[in-house]
């Protein structure tokens, strides 16, 4: 079966997000009154699998997220055959 996965990887709470800090500072310099800004990573992929939940979990653990510094969430959608 074919599936589509949408995966979001966040830095764990309390960790420094330098990219978010730089973008947030730039927005403030442009006059916007924003608070904290975080920059998650977003992955969208299509794949074939007999066990999509297991495969996406494995992709996240093995490559897309570092369990020491990241958390992740995902949605899986079955595609037409």
For 7-25, how does the pLDDT look when each residue is reduced to its tens digit (9 = 90+)?
A: 999 999 999 999 999 999 9
Closest alpha carbon to 42 in 3, 66, 73, 20 = 73
Q: What is the DSSP letter of 78?
A: E
Residue extents of the structural domains in the chain: 2-78
pTM above 0.75, yes or no: yes
Q: What average pLDDT does this structure show over 69-77?
A: 97
**For the segment 17-53, what is each residue's pLDDT rounded down to a tens digit?**
999 999 999 999 999 999 999 999 999 999 999 999 9
C-alpha closest to that of 67 among 59, 76, 75: 59
What's the CATH number for 2-78? 3.30.1280.10
């Amino acid at each position: 079966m074919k599936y589509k996965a949408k995966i979001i990887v966040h830095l764990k709470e309390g960790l420094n997000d330098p990219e978010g800090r730089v973008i947030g500072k730039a927005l403030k310099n442009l006059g916007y009154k924003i608070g904290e800004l975080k920059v998650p990573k977003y992955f969208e992929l299509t794949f074939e699998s007999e066990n999509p939940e297991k495969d996406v979990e494995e992709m996240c653990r093995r490559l897309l997220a570092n369990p020491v510094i990241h958390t992740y969430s995902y949605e899986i959608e079955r595609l037409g055959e």
